[in-house]
Amino acid sequence: MFTESQREILSSAGLDVNEDQAALLTAVIDDPQKSTSLNNSELIGFLEIANFLYRAGDQIISDQVYDFIFLAELQKRLPHHPFLTKVEPESSFSGKKRALPERMLSTEKAYSRDDVKRWAARVVRFAQSIELDADLLSIRVTPKLDGFAAYDDGRTLYTRGDGRRGSDISRVFDRGLKVGGDGKRGQGPGEIVVNHEYFLDKLSVLFDNSRNFQAAVLAPKRVTPEVQSALDSGAVLFYPFRQLPGWKGLLSDFLEDFESIVTTVNEKLLYDVDGVVIESSDREIRQQMGATQHHHRWQIAFKENVETAEVEVIEVIPNTSRSGRVNPVARLQPTRLSGATLSRASAHHYRMVESRGIGPGAVIRLVRSGLVIPKIEAVLKPVTPQLPEYCPSCDSDLVWKGDYLYCPNTAVCPAQIENAIEHFFRSLQNIDGFGAKTVEKLHAHGITSIAEIYSLSEYQLNEMGFGPKQSENLIAELRRSREEEVEDWRFLGAFGLNRMGFGNCERLLQHHRLETLFRLTSEELVKIEGFATKTAELVVAELNRVKPLFGAVYQLGFNLKRTSLQSEGHLQAGPLTGKQIVFTGVMTQGSRTEMESEAKKMGAIIGKSVTGKTDYLVAGEKVGESKIKQALARGTTCLLEEEYLQLVRSGRDESGG
């Protein structure tokens, strides 16, 4: 489940998560391989949330799981989705994926000493259950590399991919990449890392962060001269995990001397490191504790790469958003933290300002993890806070709703109007020129709605004080925004309905056409997965609120790309359409999850275990005979992998010919 602070962050961004969604997302976080079972809008919604929490410094999944499982899944399904261009480029590796010589798992993460203690207690209990002497358990602590995971079998260097199959990136060795430790090739899993002094000194002017640089090292065609010099000088390395320096000793000693051991190990390497990896070094424990789908149970990573600073608050500025919510922004004495000068931090909501005493003269502890948005961790010296009584934009009396202060003057408040207009144009993504300044100027000349903006002429813009060239451009941009195709869910989301982020908009449009949305009742909405009763009622109210504006803008004629309705599904029936299929065993053609999602695209319903309704059991290698017998007894057709592929091909031939 999401923590209180994660919920707070999400809700301040208007990304409210209901209980059903939270349960679904939690299941996916626990077992990322389930990403294939999400539908498109769930997947995008998840990416939005994960990305936002990451940027807010409260991440829910590791960067690698985010990139190589979730983004990769989106890439596979919707290669042109705008989300993919929003993120760092390293997720897109074209070319054929090859099976990794061995499975590469993630590492379970611990963010506190208590998490590590709980893990240690599990190892001890397990040791006792197999009658090992718990007092003699030994562990190894090594730096946790924060680079680009790869696997070197001596001939080929692979990306981690989905942990089973990765892309060939051997070209990086051809470019002169060196190996850390003893310098030998063929030592299995490791990471490509960069010396952080070198990065700060030579590369930080060219790259926002070392992840961007790692991506440039892997660039498919050629590398820039700066990257080549970094390779030549040995500032970038492939570091095999096996070669990592570290600490070895008894588990009990480690727990006793936790802080100093972690600090020492953390400083052993001058490369990108963001914590330590703690693992059992007892062979029996490793073999018998085994792994989940996601991580080895005998290993845990402890991450603590946070920088903190004690900062004085100059003032807390109220900021009215498009929904009328008044957000407190703390202006700070400028402070250097993780390589950036910070002068502002969000105080989340006014209940927090009030209860924790944030105001002029207060001293706060600011935390920044890596390159993400800083947050207020603690108030060290509280003051008596001053809460705003009036909207900073329109002077209306503010009202409390839960933890937030709101400006109730929805119809006339300039901040709400201008932010809503800006949100509309920003969301469409096919129009430039309508940023804060332009919108403010338009509003100052009496423009209060998007529909009015679209009715403006070049002459009118000129009259408002826009230059001739700018007026011409603005009109051309308005035309472009109607002519260039835009997804209907993006168009709907641009109206800024509460509870209707892009994910929910797409989900809704998978069940109902845009034109019929405004007639929906909450009873009809509840039938859609992810809309609980309360959300449905709010959404209906919100749809009614924007209905007049929506109608006026919609009739201007936008080039909308319709979301396909789930009921339309697959136009052409193939051999898998409507069939219930269970995949089992180890597949040779691709990972099982890949095959499952392929089958799903062809209209199959994927099951986890064979039931009376299962049509096909597709068996890879290493499948127990009893499983096959049980399936046959239930009337299920059992197919070997090759037979299954023939069946799929037969369908393609028919539809092709």
Active site residues: 144
Rounded Cα distance between 382 and 400, Å, is: 22
Residue whose tokens read 């010396």: 195
Cβ neighbours, 10 Å, residue 82: 12
Our measurement of the distance from residue 588's CA atom to the centroid of its chain's CA atoms, rounded to an integer in Å, reads 30
| Under 8 Å between Cβ of 342 and 374 | yes
Q: Minimal distance in Å, beta carbon 389 to Zn ion?
A: 12
Nearer to Zn ion, 172 or 407 (CB): 407
Our measurement of the distance from residue 394's CA atom to the centroid of its chain's CA atoms, rounded to an integer in Å, reads 36
Nearer to Zn ion, 172 or 413 (CB): 413
Nearer to Zn ion, 40 or 409 (CB): 409
The residue type found at 487 is E
Residue 580's H or E segment, with its range, is strand 580-584
The residue type found at 314 is I
Collapsed DSSP state (helix, strand, coil) of residue 329: strand
The residue type found at 572 is Q
Angle, nearest 10°, between helix axes 210-217 and 225-232?
Answer: 90
Nearer to Zn ion, 255 or 394 (CB): 394
- Our CA angle for 352, 356, 357, nearest 5°, is 110
Q: Minimal distance in Å, beta carbon 427 to Zn ion?
A: 22
Nearer to Zn ion, 306 or 394 (CB): 394
Q: Minimal distance in Å, beta carbon 407 to Zn ion?
A: 3
Nearer to Zn ion, 136 or 412 (CB): 412
Q: Which residues are at the interface with Zn ion (CB under 5 A)?
A: 391, 393-394, 396, 407, 409, 413
Q: How does strand 236-240 pair with strand 399-401?
A: unpaired
Nearer to Zn ion, 231 or 413 (CB): 413
Residue 124, C-beta contacts closer than 8 angstroms, at least 6 positions apart: 134, 137, 251
Phi, psi of 193 (to 5 degrees): -130, 165
Q: Minimal distance in Å, beta carbon 345 to Zn ion?
A: 23
Question: Closest Cα to residue 210, out of 272, 136, 264?
Answer: 272
Q: Minimal distance in Å, beta carbon 412 to Zn ion?
A: 8
Q: Minimal distance in Å, beta carbon 324 to Zn ion?
A: 7
- Our CA angle for 300, 48, 60, nearest 5°, is 15
Dihedral angle of Cα 53, 196, 367, 21, to the nearest 10 degrees: 10
Q: Minimal distance in Å, beta carbon 391 to Zn ion?
A: 3
| Under 8 Å between Cβ of 614 and 631 | yes
Rounded Cα distance between 549 and 532, Å, is: 26
Nearer to Zn ion, 181 or 392 (CB): 392
N-term to C-term CA, the chain: 50
Integer angstrom CA distances of residue 53 from 213, 343, 440, 623: 23, 21, 30, 40
Nearer to Zn ion, 249 or 392 (CB): 392
Q: Minimal distance in Å, beta carbon 394 to Zn ion?
A: 3
The residue type found at 438 is T
Residue 543, CB half-sphere, CA atoms under 13 Å: how many? 20
